[in-house]
Structure formats: structure tokens, C-alpha cells
Chain A
Amino acid sequence: MTLSMMKTIISSSPFLRSGLSTPRIMWEVVITLVPVVGMAAWVFGISALLMTLVCVLACWMAERIFLPPAPGASVLGDGSAVITGILLALCLPPGFPFWMAFLGGFVAIALGKAMWGGLGHNVFNPALLGRAFLQAAFPGAITTWSAPATSFFALRGSNLALPFLKGESVDAMTGATPLSAMKFTHQAADWQDLLIGQVSGSLGETSGGLFLLLGLYLAWRGLINWRIPVGMIATVGLFSGILYWIDPAHYAPPQFMILAGGLMLGAVYMATDLVSSPLTHKGIWIYAVGIGILVVMIRVWGGLPEGVMYAILLMNAVTPLINRALPTRVYGHASPTS
């Protein structure tokens, strides 16, 4: 056998691949979001579907403009912008004007992702960044909640408001969310209602049970790090449980705190963002527990009824410091902690 017959393939690491590519992961997550959007449509009607469509379109357009795809790549991109769009829509109230939602989606990708250099580089979760931007820019519109729809095709009052014009159509039917009812009148909703999802709130703040199932599925598939939702939910349960134990008349019971609002959505889909969460398991635990503590602090003592978004954004900001304090082991080197 001569040397020339030997076939030598030169390639760099990694040599073993899991078969999971980025678009594959992203589209699989998108598929798990379909039942969530379906649930929102069931509770809030056609507004929920249109809102999702508007947000996804805005994110996709921003992605095309700021991060143009390589020639020959899929027109839809790698799917991460679609996830951002759906997640942003899930944090918006059903009666939110579509033009504001569009702006939010655009900002989410432009400032949340493109500015940092694209997928895999963002320090903050893009969808939450878009939501925080909308909260700062339109604090009134984003806290106007509509009660679940009476008919499927009934559009919410201010959905079609025009930009920069004072919309004369004010949504007459508003229903307080479970969290704002708790905050301002000290009425805790039944946890069974929260589990099934027949409550007012943002599009993705309905059924806690659905997110539980999806979270289990995603964790089983290895698409999210189970430590994040487990750490977050356990911390919120423990912290609010202690407060409830001290003074049940003043504080909400822990099962309410876990199921109400965006905690389940945040724990399963937002905090688990692969890019903006810490690298090591130890870091992940710190991150998750930090989010849980901040959520309870903002909900119980803060001026706003809901704090999941701010809690995750704040811990996103801390993540670089966590990664610095707990560096990953460099392959072939000794563990940095030993």
C-alpha cells in the first residue's frame, strides 16, 4: 500500500456531533410554542394570532435588514427571530395596538441582537428587551388588560389604533390580571383557574399547566437546561412560602405566586435562553435563584404587579460577572476551581 492511497481528512474539532444544529433547535422550540399560541387564541381570540403574526413579521424584517442572511440560506433565517417574535407577542396584553407591537419586535432584534453581532452574541434576551422598551415607551397601553374574548373573531378595542393618534376606541371591557388584583386589592385568584388558564393577562400568562408540560418536554429533549426553571420556581415557591407563613393575610400563597403572571413562561422560555444565561452549572443555579428572589421582591414590594421581565433582564446583566467568577474548564486543562 502506497502512501498516496491513504485518504487523510484534515478537519478541526469538534469531531463528534450531536446532530442538533442551531436551526434545528430553534424550529423545534417554535413547534413547542404552537400550543401556547393556540391557547392564547382560545382565550383571547383572533387578536392573539394577529399579534403573534405582527411581532414575528417585525422581528423577521429587522433580521433581514440588520443581519442579512448568507446567499443561499433559508429565507426564514435560522428561526431564532421567529422565536423572539412569538415570545414578545406572548408578553403583550391582547388589546395592545399592533403598531406598537411591531415597533417592539423591531427594537427587540435591532437592539437586542443585531447590535451585539447577531445570534449567539446577545447579552440580554431580545424578546424581553423589546418588552422592556415597550413598557418604558408606552406604560399606559401595555398595562391595559382585556378580559377573555366573548367571540373568537372580535378584535380588541385598541388593536387597530393608528400611530401617534389618540385612539378614540377605548376598550370598555377590562379585567384586572390576577397579579394586579393581588397587588392592589389583595385578592388571590384560585390556583386551579391559573393552572388551566381562564384568567386575564398577557397572551402567554394564561395556563401555567401547559407551560409545565412544555417545560418537561423541552428539558427531556435537552433543549433547555432544566436547572433554570427548577431553580427559579423553587426559589419563588420557597421565598413566597416563607412570606405567606409569616403573614398569610398580607402575602399571596406560593402556589399563586408560581402560577400567576409570566413566571412559567419566563422560567421555561425566557430565562433559559442559551445565549444570555451563564455557562457553568454552578453559575446557572446562582442565576436561577437570583431571578426567583428578584421576581418575588418586585412583585411583593415593587411598584409594578409583575417583575419576571425585569428580574430576568437584571440577571442577564449579571451573567457576564457570573461567567467571570466561575469560568468554564478549558478542554485539556485542569479544572479552574481546583
Chain B
Amino acid sequence: MAQELLWIFISALLINNFTLAYFLGICPFLGVSNKLDTALRLGLANIFVMIITAVAAWALNTFVLIYAPYLRLISFIIVIASTVQFVEMAIKKWSPELFKALGIFLPLITTNCAILGLALFATNKGYGLIEGIVYALGAGGGVTLALILMAGIREETRVLDIPDVVKGTALSLIVAGILSMAFMGFAGMFSAA
């Protein structure tokens, strides 16, 4: 069991990285990756929301959707978004420090495709509660890893003599492509074992 959980974690973290292998959550990856500090906080918010998503998706699948499977997509979106809003209010009341650290990113991230993707993938793979949470940790960690790598490179590019034609979005997209190529090295890992 522990080995299986580790495999789920590493698979979501590196091999099937949500950002660099599945290309989910590209908008924050390109939009909020110009500073390391914000990128890290966005990543943490992502992990947080993903864990809530995993729990919510599991609860919906187990208790509600067995009676109405055709409601899956819409109920995932509504339930996840509202749960995160609710949790955000709870954090604001009980832990202002955490609220400040996660800041605006918490509501921003809820409607991201990576979040819905996580819920749908976890459902497709038939993960239980614990597996789902580990999967969310791995996937969120993978998104965070991609974000801070991207932010590190983009901070570096600020002091470089980047030609005008590639400055800005073009550079971000090319760097994202290069990172994605580098992550191809993890493809197929552990599948033979």
C-alpha cells in the first residue's frame, strides 16, 4: 500500500506532471510565474485547493454521483468552487497569516482546469480517499515545481539581453516548451518495474 501511494505521488509529481506533461493549468503557469515569491505562493494555494478537491470529489463520487452520474462535470465545478470559497472564509477567520500568504491566489485557482482535471483523473483511476489525497499532493507539488522552475528562469531572464522579438509571452512559451522537453526524460519511468 505504501509503495503504491509513493508511486501515485511520484507519478503525479514528475512523470505525469500536470503542467509539463498534461499541459493543464497553463494560465497561472504563464501568467503568475514572473516572480519566485508569488509563484511559490500560487503553488502552495494550488496544493491546498487540490487536496480539498480530492476530498470533495471523493465525497461526491461516493455519496451523490452513484445516483446521478450524468451530473459529474457540473457538480464537480460547483461543489469544488463553493467549498474552496467556504474554506477561504474559514481560514480568514481562524488563520489570518495563512490567508495572507495564500492571498488572492486561492479564489483564482479554484476554476483552473488543473483542479477539474485532478477531480476527473482521480475519478477515472478509481482512487479512494487516501489515494486521492496523495494524488492531489503529488499533482499540486508537480504544479509548484513547474512554477518555481519557470519563475527562476524568468527572473534570470530579466538581467539577460533578450532580443525584442522573443521578449514577453513568446519567451515564456518557448521556456515552457523547453521545460516540457526536459521533463520528457521522466516519461515511462517505473512502468517497466
Contacts and interface: CB of A to CB of B under 8 A. Distances in A.
| Real binding pair | yes
Given A115-B171, A123-B156, A311 B185 contact: yes
A121 interface: yes
A117 B160 contact: yes
Nearest to A133: B181
B163 A117 contact: yes
B187 interface: yes
B79 interface: no
A318 interface: yes
Contact of B153 (A114, A311, A320): A320
A307 B191 CA distance: 16
Nearest to B159: A121
Contacts of A234: none
A301 B163 contact: no
Contacts of A316: 182
Contacts of B171: 115
A239 to B, nearest CB: 16
B181 A132 contact: yes
B185 A118 contact: no
A292 to B, nearest CB: 14
B94 interface: no
Contacts of A121: 160-162
B184 interface: yes
A301 B190 contact: yes
B167 to A, nearest CB: 10
Contact of B185 (A111, A116, A313): A313
Contacts of B189: 297-298, 301-303
B182 A320 contact: no
Contact of A135 (B36, B156, B184, B190): B184
A298 B185 contact: yes
Nearest to B155: A320
A307 B186 CA distance: 9
B185 A310 contact: yes
B163 A115 contact: yes
Interface in B139-193: 148-149, 152-153, 155-157, 160-163, 166, 171, 174-175, 178-179, 181-193
A310 B184 contact: yes
A321 B37 CA distance: 12
Contacts of A118: 161
A310 B163 contact: no
Interface string A119-146: 0010110000100110110000000000
Contact of B191 (A115, A303, A323): A303
Given A115-B163, A117-B163, A298 B157 contact: no
Nearest to A316: B182
A304 B156 contact: no
A309 B182 CA distance: 8
Task: List 4 tightest A-B contacts by C-beta distance, closest first.
Answer: A303-B188, A310-B185, A117-B161, A320-B152
10 contacts: A121-B160, A121-B162, A123-B175, A133-B181, A294-B185, A304-B185, A313-B178, A317-B179, A318-B149, A323-B156
Given A121-B160, A123-B175, A124-B182, 13 more contacts: A116-B157, A116-B160, A136-B181, A302-B186, A303-B188, A304-B188, A313-B178, A313-B182, A314-B185, A317-B149, A320-B155, A321-B148, A321-B152
